[in-house]
Structure 1
């Protein structure tokens, strides 16, 4: 999309684009990048959705991303490289998509007509733009007049369509780059010699990039997280208020001018929905929970932009798009999920019924049984009384607290579905339950309520509004959640926390003050979250940590939750594991 605006600000059409991409890719956890959307025409936009789905289905983008980062560091021109990869990958996937879905041929024809009409209006001298259109003309059987370089590059890119493997495709892209663009290497990357290698050795062998751990650079992750924290929270809005924001990448500190941060705070309700607490209640809650590591933090409790009084139409459409995606994934396997709900409901119901049965056992004292009196003096078993044993463990209430930070994005739809299955099962059995999501915006911890304890069954549909962005301050979210849970009258209070075991949040510095303590990450965040879990347990709340993160973070999860945690490699087992835990609590 370059610098052009996505002109189809039509929610229905935008949703159609997303659904088309998902249908082709077969993966509802993917989203189209803004650069994959067309501003030329709706026909082209539809075709771009098809090719975006094909790229995700047939190309290993993890390898592509590593390759691009590796070559960019070695001095390659990123824009040229990305354009070559885009054209090369389209050449590889187009025929595969058409073979699988013949109807795509007509979509492609309409798109090509619009692209070519637009091209003839442009009179461009851009080499890669000319190559792009030369490839299209070749595909529709035309032999256009073009310069020798354009024709050779186009021919070499079209020849890549026989490459089945992503690595072989990238090898071909690199050969084309080195052959036609040897001078487009930045000075610090070194020149490329005739053999295609950097003279200063930075480029290395083609396959070197596969050995690099590109996405484990903590410095890059910090910068990315800080940027995401701002940009995703201000969906589609001007960021003029953030001109005076600076990031300290070493300690994950955002420094904001005092007058600017107050303007940002005023917009929290605009982006996340108004609070369901009045200002006085919010102040009381913050006075109770925002202390220690959270001394400078704030809390925002909301039902979200869709269900609270909000005039942010853009954000409403953004949430509705995620909601539609989650519902589509649910409907794709609706029969399976409904069977799971019924199975879990019956399992909980049977367990509760068994525990409510009153057992009468023989005893030396209690209620006299007349027909047992003959035993007196005649039998060694002289227990002529019975005593009633009440197995009822009391009433139950369950809170489900879900990490809604950006790190959960890969599991978004599956987490929403599993939370829905669990809440639906509990509600049908009659166990009061509440479902909350939490994430961070600046030093606000935003807690979104999907259903409340006494909400009707239909409120469980709200869980499909779940989407992921920003960071996560687990300790404060747990502390704030327990405030309401402790007020409940039920005998057994249970909190289930789904997170990736990596509490991770920024700090906000106002003005030029330098008296900031360590950022909320690593040892500091883990210790704080573990402390809040212990405090809640001491007050009688049973807490289960459900871990869906990487194995390398498993130790952090153990430190936080002790023995009461479940490691779930497959998020589809979330509801099953939680029910197993609930049954253990009920029976024990």
Structure 2
């Protein structure tokens, strides 16, 4: 269940809640999260402040936040997961708090009384609410009537009490989720299409989170958590000002007030790096590309926080850690990847050299060959002329566009390496190439430039800065990329898009605008992306899709790119398959 939002506008009471949380936690630098300020009554609000403080004192709360983000990316239902964490963490910290501060017992009793009094006014058919209700009744010494599922979940949560270590607590939470809610595994679009996951698959993913947790500094918080908190605060959710924001959950549409949107815009450069374009150029670009399905969108072109003017040290460290991770994967298989670079370079070189050969073929007209005049009247082959066939298709330029959304995260290093192999082969051949990554945050499509057309070979190392977060508006990213590519002077322009075939984004509307169409997901997003690919081809740009997703999304990839896409399961065959499809689009 989602509790009602915090709506008290009483400054003194709000200050009392904050002070209570700070007193219990012992840390005045902490703030309560949005969900923790939910309430049923003032008594419950005060008790939530106590438990929020207890979580920060006895549990590594930043790790819990990172865990929630990690599992949400993997498709877990966030509301169910947060409910389990709230109840599980309360089991761990409640008695510890009361042992230290006996007065908390009375605060808890008053809160429990209000929760039980209001229970039948809430969601009595909500399983999580039934579990919470049962656990409270048991804590006050009553024996509630429960169905089997409610009893089992409550019992498993209560058994978490002795898990002192945060990681062990999270493992226990994950075991409960996998045991009781394997069907609630959502895809990027928020539906339950991923319900085919089995329990072992879900449980096995915990190792991914552990690797992240061990690698990151404990005090650092995932950038997505920071952005999420900022978005929630700026949208007014933490103050309960629902006049400023509404959320159409089915269509993933956010409607916010103009002043709140402007505040969010100010944060984009801070988290993603300042734009390398002047404001005037950005506006001109947006006027050209942000139309139709992208009418409410904005563009941010950046070199990232590491290589642009930025004072966001946290995000710089975050990107650099991903750069190290990706580089380590590359180095671990250096011989294989080096062989792919060499093979791809040589194959491209042979293909382009062959295209430059001028063939002389026999003909009925053209340049006379005297030595063949004897054929006239003596042979059925009367072709005594030759005609030159010029196979030279001219110069080439290539753009590599990488989907950097959260859905690529499990395959992050491999995607970065694929882009690196392409860029290295092209650069070593002297073919101008540019490498860009794209993702979105609210109504911004953020396009990060890893290397530009004339960058030196060493700039290819920037590709390892690639990391995955946010959503992806593929159609707008392709349209924006083609704006520069089409202006190039080379005879042949190629766009290679590395994506998982799952364009997926929210829509942001200003004020009370009701004219918003469906959100950018599913058929709407696939159709738009396919349309932009067709438009690029009509402009003379050869487009190749390199599929980096799951097999069940192949149909979407086919709908977007037609026959011109490569599905590369084995990295050892990367060079062979890429050159095969490059030849296909060059010859066609």
- Measured against the shorter chain, the TM-score band is 0.5 to 0.7
- Asked if 2 retains the 8 angstrom alpha-carbon contact of 1:475 and 1:525, the reply is yes
Offset at 1:431?
2.0
- Asked if 2 retains the 8 angstrom alpha-carbon contact of 1:399 and 1:435, the reply is yes
Deviations 1:43-88 (A, max 9, x none): x9xxxx9xxxxx9xxxxx99x99899989989994237899xxxxx
- The match for 1:215 is 185
- The match for 1:502 is 502
Offset at 1:504?
1.0
Offset at 1:269?
1.6
- Asked if 1 retains the 8 angstrom alpha-carbon contact of 2:544 and 2:564, the reply is yes
Distance of 2:322 and 2:517 partners within structure 1: 36
Classify 1:262/1:73 alpha carbon distance in 2 versus 1 (closer, same or farther; 3 Å). closer
- Asked if 1 retains the 8 angstrom alpha-carbon contact of 2:500 and 2:549, the reply is yes
Provide the secondary structure at the position in 2 that maps to 1:516.
Answer: coil
Classify 1:269/1:243 alpha carbon distance in 2 versus 1 (closer, same or farther; 3 Å). same
Tell me, which stretches of 5 or more residues in structure 1 are unaligned?
Answer: 8-37, 50-54, 56-60, 84-121, 127-183, 223-227
Distance of 1:428 and 1:352 partners within structure 2: 14
- The match for 1:88 is none
Offset at 1:440?
0.6
Distance of 2:226 and 2:152 partners within structure 1: 41
Counterparts of 1:77-476 in structure 2, within 5 Å, are: 77-79=87-89, 125=99, 186-187=132-133, 199-203=146-150, 209=179, 212-216=182-186, 231-232=224-225, 234=227, 240-244=233-237, 247-476=247-476
Deviation larger for 251-260 or 237-246? 237-246
Deviation larger for 410-419 or 486-495? 486-495
- The match for 1:116 is none
- Asked if 1 retains the 8 angstrom alpha-carbon contact of 2:343 and 2:575, the reply is no
Residues 1:582 and 2:582 aligned together: yes
Counterparts of 1:557-568 in structure 2, within 5 Å, are: 557-568=557-568
Offset at 1:367?
2.3
Distance of 1:486 and 1:561 partners within structure 2: 19
Distance of 1:534 and 1:265 partners within structure 2: 31
Offset at 1:125?
4.9
Deviation larger for 522-531 or 396-405? 522-531
Deviation larger for 537-546 or 565-574? 565-574
- Asked if 2 retains the 8 angstrom alpha-carbon contact of 1:419 and 1:575, the reply is no
Distance of 2:57 and 2:225 partners within structure 1: 22
Distance of 1:274 and 1:75 partners within structure 2: 37
Provide the secondary structure at the position in 1 that maps to 2:149.
Answer: coil
- The match for 2:483 is 483
Offset at 1:376?
4.2
Aligned residues: 438
Distance of 1:502 and 1:288 partners within structure 2: 25
Distance of 1:82 and 1:557 partners within structure 2: 46
Distance of 1:74 and 1:124 partners within structure 2: 22
Offset at 1:205?
8.0
Classify 1:39/1:392 alpha carbon distance in 2 versus 1 (closer, same or farther; 3 Å). farther
Distance of 2:190 and 2:519 partners within structure 1: 16
Distance of 2:330 and 2:533 partners within structure 1: 32
Deviations 1:114-167 (A, max 9, x none): xxxxxxxx99959xxxxxxxxxxxxxxxxxxxxxxxxxxxxxxxxxxxxxxxxx
Tell me, which stretches of 5 or more residues in structure 2 are unaligned?
Answer: 1-23, 30-55, 101-129, 154-175, 193-220, 238-244
Q: CA RMSD in A?
A: 4.3
Provide the secondary structure at the position in 2 that maps to 1:446.
Answer: strand
- The match for 1:107 is none
Distance of 1:362 and 1:416 partners within structure 2: 49
Deviation larger for 315-324 or 212-221? 212-221
Offset at 1:563?
2.3
Distance of 1:419 and 1:409 partners within structure 2: 15
Distance of 1:489 and 1:219 partners within structure 2: 39
Distance of 2:356 and 2:331 partners within structure 1: 36
Distance of 1:370 and 1:505 partners within structure 2: 69
Classify 1:219/1:474 alpha carbon distance in 2 versus 1 (closer, same or farther; 3 Å). closer
TM-score, scaled to structure 1: 0.65
Classify 1:255/1:392 alpha carbon distance in 2 versus 1 (closer, same or farther; 3 Å). same
- Asked if 1 retains the 8 angstrom alpha-carbon contact of 2:402 and 2:438, the reply is yes
Offset at 1:287?
0.8
Distance of 2:25 and 2:343 partners within structure 1: 52
Classify 1:77/1:259 alpha carbon distance in 2 versus 1 (closer, same or farther; 3 Å). closer
Offset at 1:489?
2.0
Distance of 2:85 and 2:339 partners within structure 1: 55
Distance of 1:521 and 1:311 partners within structure 2: 34
Offset at 1:272?
1.2
Distance of 1:465 and 1:456 partners within structure 2: 17
Classify 1:313/1:384 alpha carbon distance in 2 versus 1 (closer, same or farther; 3 Å). same
Offset at 1:481?
0.9
Residues 1:493 and 2:503 aligned together: no
Classify 1:343/1:432 alpha carbon distance in 2 versus 1 (closer, same or farther; 3 Å). same
Provide the secondary structure at the position in 2 that maps to 1:487.
Answer: coil
Deviation larger for 472-481 or 498-507? 498-507
Classify 1:414/1:190 alpha carbon distance in 2 versus 1 (closer, same or farther; 3 Å). same
Classify 1:388/1:404 alpha carbon distance in 2 versus 1 (closer, same or farther; 3 Å). same
- Asked if 1 retains the 8 angstrom alpha-carbon contact of 2:340 and 2:572, the reply is no
TM-score, scaled to structure 2: 0.65
Distance of 1:81 and 1:576 partners within structure 2: 56
Provide the secondary structure at the position in 1 that maps to 2:558.
Answer: helix
Provide the secondary structure at the position in 2 that maps to 1:267.
Answer: helix
Provide the secondary structure at the position in 1 that maps to 2:338.
Answer: helix
Offset at 1:395?
2.1
